[in-house]
Structure 1
Amino acid sequence: MPEKRVADIDWTPLLERQFNPSPVAWEDQVIYFLLPDRFSDDTEREYNDIRGNPVNKGSTPKFNPAMDKDSLGGPGGEEAWRDAGGKYVGGNLKGLTSKIGYLKRLGVTAIWVGPIFKQVAFQDTYHGYGVQNFLDVERHFGTREDLRTMVDTAHSQGIYVILDIILNHSGNVFTYKGDKHPYWTGAEHKPGKEFEVEGYNDKDGKPTIPMGQVNLENFPEAFPDGAVWPAELQPITGFTRKGSIRNWDLDPEYLEGDFEDLKDINLGPSMANNFTATSSLKTLCAAYKFWIAYADLDGFRIDTVKHMGDGPTRYFASNVHEFAASLGKENFLLVGEVAGDRERAFNTVESTGINAALGIADVQDKLENMIKGYREPQAYFDLFRNSLLVQRDSHTWFRNKVVTMIDDHDQIGKGQNKARFCYADEGATYIVGAIALNLFTLGIPCIYYGTEQDFDGNGGSDQYIREAMFGGSFGAFRSRNKHCFDESTHTYHEVSKLTALRQMYLPLRRGRQYLRPISGDGVNFGLPTMFSPNRMLTVLPWSRIFADKEMLCAVNTDFERASEAWVTVDSELQAETDTLECVYSTEEGGVGKKVKVEGRNGRSVFLSVPKGGIVVYK
């Protein structure tokens, strides 16, 4: 039985063991993000286990593109599939543990696992962001011991584990009086007022439990599926109670309001200076330190940091970093979801002490559309360097301050037009180059589950970009009961080569980066740019330089034909008559090809890049 209060936790046995140390540098890692409900249910067959041996004992066969794509069929088939996507579909921690070998061979070195904490009982918050008990694991996902087993298995394979956590809000744990869904800015009340509350919700979503410290003798049904736990969160002052956010950038509305029916927790004032933590914030700090000690975790991804404020974020970061360091985890990773422009994200990282930001300045849109020819390359590359942000004359490289990715589970910037990278604009042609761009440019790269299997995620809303990797009732590519753990697919195979290359060459992980000028005639050079108002079809090259070693990478934004260009390289590191050797190419037979350095625009080489592909030279 899980504890009802953090004060009941006996820490001593948890601390009497050797903990997994942190990596030296998180920018050396390749993160893989998954939602437990959508990844694996441990019933698959025709996949390879942790040792690479075939597994044929399960009930779910492997997906066959020729037979299973768009295979819903029959009356009501599509509707049933679509409806299933809004509910739990069956993925769990045991399933994730069984696929550690699949991730290891892909080249993954850290797993970011979506929230696993106990959810409100009366809603299908399969995504994990509707927490009702911060000290227990959601039964759909498994048990505490399943979490510990998964982490231990990952560590045995050299893979770190980052857990997605929530501080800003709980699930739908109480009901407002009268109006069940008031807004912070309503028509008939003062903005930002505290609303009256009917009570804590029971297991059926009815507000039958008085809000305040729960008396289990009078309301025994409150545990485990009613109210909110641990008990230290239950006083009415533990929540702001000011209704839902309507204006997502209005201060203080975005700091005090609820996320729809997810209830805002009172963490304290937003300002970092002279901050005083609330009881709720202290309770959550203790709860998450418990999980670090219990499961030997290596990092947290913190949800909705923008809506917490710098004061609570700094307090949490300081507490967690100190505790993790006491366990030998000197570089425990804290990644904050910081929506908004780059300056806000960078300032949040600097002022709060979290390690990195996720989702800054629409980085995913810039990355995705740059390789498809719809965004200026310099807009993406400038995300990682700007002396003005740090008040210095020289460049500061944000090599480990940003987590970068292509696909994700929210795609906030796409509004109601959500779909994965591979859905449109020849995405399946570009996907290897796009992942290479993610892996070989600055930042901590992250792959969203299924991207390595060309998932398309078309449908418009969140659920369609959260397909079940294991099939079930909401399988990928509009299918059911067929899994996609296929290590023979082209994209999986190429990504595993790219991650191996990244591990082999230090400049690809830690080097400074420079978008390189190109030329069609070897005389007139300029940075790649959109001369056409519609699309940029060209060679897009960049260098990574570390300790006097240069690696030259280039993608082709033209998916129909190969592109050629003279590409500038570093004139101090490369001499005329030197040669660069190709160490990766999406063109068969391209590896091993050599190009000669010539005295054009300082120093340049002539590159040919396959259609929609990538080359890497050393």
Structure 2
Amino acid sequence: MKPKVLFISALMGCISILVPQASQSAEQSTYPEVGLAKDVIYFVMPDRYLNGDASNDLAGGTTQDPTGGFNPTSTAFFHGGDLKGLTGTCEKGDKGLARIKDLGFTAVWLTPLVGQQKATSNGAGYHGYWGVDFLNVDPHLGTNEDLSALSACAKKLGLKLILDVVTNHTGDVIQYMDKTASIPAGKESAKNPSWLNDLSSYHNVGDMSRCWGEGSCTQLGDFYGLDDLATEKEVVYKGMIDIYSQWIKKYGFVGFRVDTARHVDNDFFKNWSPGINQQASQVGINNFTTFGEVWDINPINLVGYIRDRGLQTVLDFPFQRTAVQFASGYSGAEVLNNLFENDDLYTTQSSSASNLVTFLGNHDMGRVGFLISASQVKAEKDLQARTQLAHALMYLSRGIPTVYYGDEVGMTGSGNGGDQLARQDMFATKVDSWKTEKRIGSTPVGNGDSFSGAENPISKYLKALSTLRQKYPALANGAMQIRYAKDNLFIFSKFDQSEKKEYVVALNTSSRALAPSVKTSSGAGWATVFGTGTSKAKALSLSMTLPALSATVYRSSGLIAQSKSKVAKIATKKDFLTGYVEVLATLNTNSLQAVTFETRASSSSEWIAAGIDNNWPYRIYIDPLHYSPSSTIEVRARLASEKGAVNAKSTTVKLS
């Protein structure tokens, strides 16, 4: 699940690579997988999807919106989409959840549904991140009963539901006079539940850009004016457990995406997540998934939120940036290799890079089509092919793929392409500029909606990728070994040790056909199961012809070759970028194995699991800060031989 590359040469377009071979008898180990590990997620903003009930457009007002939030001609206000529209009839052919299911998605992530503060002259909380009533659905989106109906439909269709939640802040109610915080008259009970109306539940130190608190303004200050909760306080994190456990128990959400996760205190997720997981287990959800939004493109920075701060997993912003750059032709496959080289940093007993939630664009930064064309001017003429390539990389490499609503119908955006300009209506829009925005694979929407007309080629491509994952489970976040990564070519193998079949995924971002050859772990023939590339097998190698701007998947006709293997040695060294200790196991064979790493204190006889790595190089990283200063521990790497016997090597490490 953590891909690395080993390549030797590239001569005249004919590439020869030496990589480990997968063993048929590799140790069958259990990898840490979140509940959404095999899913494909559709990320949707309900206000912009479909208006199923015009009577709630005015949030309960008969002639005008009492919140001042409805204005479908402005990008900053509610437009009328709601939960009834998203639910639909729940029958095949409908535009709601049934359509999303038909596109091949298995989970739906909804932006926050909680009641929002009243609108200002600058906009409204149509997006859901200005919450004040955390126990009820915002009236613009419908009722709690509407959400129950959506949940019942999702259950009928076999779709999982994920809720976007906010734990760092609430809507902007608290005001400041000089440096004194207060709640304005008439707003003393503006928030629900009641503990959210207590000033002591907040930091009250001004905006994060200029706060006067003692500590990090990123964690103490108001997020662009929104009231910053004191998440380190027991009343807050227990209150947030109580709030969001109700959404789980009433509506069956199986996962949360946590907004602004970098802005809570360092121990928040250690305090909050166990309570959420416990509450979920009470209603039979035993593998609840929590992934946080930590907007950082450096994997080394993201790792700490999982290893140290207690987040289960995160949105993979480094993948987003790298995948878009590669697909656009802005950078070569080497950048992908560099990205995946960091995957072992995520490997612990309870975490893996395979649990990262991958995406190509979103409601803040913009849509993938816009970002690809912005990354490389020349990509404009090949935008459809490059957008499809980006999705193939996301669907078929490691991680949990997420598609932002509207991308499947070729929405792009205009202006700077981000924030409000990336939140188009799926139903017929009243925003004039959106009517003329270009679409990938189709003409501008005009006065129509995005559900009518011929099916968009992006939609067809995503459906085909999903069908491929369903037919061949190894392609759905299975183990991954990079075969080649240079210039316009990124080639990797996927495999599932229970199936013992190998798949080779080849991505070509060049505007011309290429003919690479790579070493494999299978000696039989190959069949093309996706794309139009051809292949020829010779011994443990695969020669391919890859069309320009294409993604091709090959499947071995025979089983992965067997090869005896044992741990030859285990070595450690300090990683100066992270301060961790790298533990590297070397095998006496090229066979791909699942190497289990364990540690024990010098005074103990009990080995404790430290992580599993199933592709070369076999390694984990140990954080010395998790041990007493100058501790000495023993580290062991072990695997099972062809006959099932355990082979292991160990070494002693002094941590400093």
Q: Does 1:408 align with 2:362?
A: yes
Q: What SS class does the counterpart of residue 494 from structure 2 fall into? A: strand
TM-score, reference length from structure 1:
0.72
Q: CA deviation at 1:419?
A: 3.7
Equivalent position amino acid for 2:398 in 1: L
Q: CA deviation at 1:83?
A: 6.1
- The residue correspondences of 1:233-382 to structure 2 (distance < 5 A) are 233-246=196-209, 252-268=216-232, 277-340=233-296, 341-360=298-317, 362-382=318-338
Q: What SS class does the counterpart of residue 564 from structure 1 fall into? A: coil
2:79 maps to: 89
2:647 maps to: none
1:33 to 22, 43, 51: 43
Kept in 2, the 8 Å contact 1:28–1:503? The answer is: no
1:574 maps to: 522
Which region of structure 1 is more displaced relative to structure 2, 315-324 or 334-343?
334-343
* Structure-1 separation of matches of 2:545 and 2:35: 32
Kept in 1, the 8 Å contact 2:40–2:402? The answer is: yes
Q: What SS class does the counterpart of residue 399 from structure 1 fall into? A: helix
- CA offset digits 1:418-448 (Å, max 9, x no partner): 9454676232231222111110010011011
Give the number of the structure with larger relative contact order, counting CA–CA contacts within 8 Å between residues 6 or more apart: 2
Equivalent position amino acid for 2:319 in 1: V
1:8 maps to: none
* Structure-1 separation of matches of 2:346 and 2:300: 10
Q: What SS class does the counterpart of residue 428 from structure 1 fall into? A: helix
- CA offset digits 1:237-270 (Å, max 9, x no partner): 111111112289x9611000111121101111xx
Root-mean-square deviation over aligned CA pairs: 2.9
* Structure-2 separation of matches of 1:468 and 1:439: 25
Q: Does 1:528 align with 2:486?
A: yes
Q: What SS class does the counterpart of residue 552 from structure 1 fall into? A: strand
Unpaired segments of 5 or more residues in structure 2?
1-32, 55-70, 89-95, 438-444, 556-656
- The residue correspondences of 1:121-200 to structure 2 (distance < 5 A) are 121-123=118-120, 124-177=124-177, 195-199=179-183
* Structure-2 separation of matches of 1:286 and 1:581: 53
Q: What SS class does the counterpart of residue 133 from structure 1 fall into? A: strand
* Structure-2 separation of matches of 1:265 and 1:347: 22
1:612 maps to: 549
- CA offset digits 1:353-374 (Å, max 9, x no partner): 43320134x3211111111222
2:504 maps to: 552
* Structure-1 separation of matches of 2:238 and 2:435: 41
In structure 2, relative to structure 1, the CA distance for the partners of 1:244 and 1:97 (3 Å cut) is same
Identity rate, percent:
27
In structure 2, relative to structure 1, the CA distance for the partners of 1:540 and 1:391 (3 Å cut) is closer
1:584 maps to: 530
TM-score, reference length from structure 2:
0.68
Q: CA deviation at 1:476?
A: 5.8
In structure 2, relative to structure 1, the CA distance for the partners of 1:382 and 1:43 (3 Å cut) is farther
Kept in 2, the 8 Å contact 1:418–1:459? The answer is: no
Q: CA deviation at 1:403?
A: 0.4
* Structure-2 separation of matches of 1:131 and 1:241: 17
- CA offset digits 1:73-126 (Å, max 9, x no partner): xxxxxxxx9961111111111111111111011000000000110000133121
* Structure-2 separation of matches of 1:149 and 1:431: 35
Equivalent position amino acid for 2:455 in 1: S
1:103 to 100, 103, 117: 100
In structure 2, relative to structure 1, the CA distance for the partners of 1:583 and 1:418 (3 Å cut) is closer
1:509 maps to: 476
Equivalent position amino acid for 1:89 in 2: H
2:514 to 555, 564, 567: 564
Equivalent position amino acid for 2:45 in 1: L
Kept in 2, the 8 Å contact 1:27–1:445? The answer is: no
Q: What SS class does the counterpart of residue 346 from structure 1 fall into? A: helix
Which region of structure 1 is more displaced relative to structure 2, 160-169 or 483-492?
483-492
* Structure-2 separation of matches of 1:365 and 1:108: 23
Unpaired segments of 5 or more residues in structure 1?
1-22, 45-80, 179-194, 200-206, 215-221, 269-276, 518-526, 530-537
In structure 2, relative to structure 1, the CA distance for the partners of 1:135 and 1:476 (3 Å cut) is farther
Which region of structure 1 is more displaced relative to structure 2, 134-143 or 376-385?
376-385
Q: Which has the higher strand share?
A: 2
Q: Does 1:232 align with 2:209?
A: no
Kept in 2, the 8 Å contact 1:516–1:567? The answer is: no
Q: What SS class does the counterpart of residue 109 from structure 2 fall into? A: strand
* Structure-2 separation of matches of 1:418 and 1:497: 19
- CA offset digits 1:579-607 (Å, max 9, x no partner): 2111111xxxx3xx7521135xx623122
- CA offset digits 1:345-389 (Å, max 9, x no partner): 2221233443320134x3211111111222342433444454763
Kept in 2, the 8 Å contact 1:422–1:455? The answer is: no
For these two proteins, the number of residue pairs brought into alignment is 476
Kept in 1, the 8 Å contact 2:46–2:86? The answer is: yes
Q: CA deviation at 1:540?
A: 2.7
In structure 2, relative to structure 1, the CA distance for the partners of 1:83 and 1:285 (3 Å cut) is same
Q: Does 1:471 align with 2:428?
A: yes
Kept in 2, the 8 Å contact 1:27–1:444? The answer is: yes
Kept in 1, the 8 Å contact 2:369–2:412? The answer is: no
* Structure-2 separation of matches of 1:511 and 1:198: 53
Kept in 2, the 8 Å contact 1:467–1:476? The answer is: no
Equivalent position amino acid for 1:472 in 2: T
* Structure-1 separation of matches of 2:436 and 2:283: 44
* Structure-1 separation of matches of 2:294 and 2:413: 24
* Structure-2 separation of matches of 1:247 and 1:370: 38
* Structure-2 separation of matches of 1:33 and 1:105: 15
2:186 maps to: 209
Kept in 1, the 8 Å contact 2:409–2:456? The answer is: yes
- CA offset digits 1:130-164 (Å, max 9, x no partner): 00111111111111111111111011111000000
* Structure-2 separation of matches of 1:606 and 1:584: 13
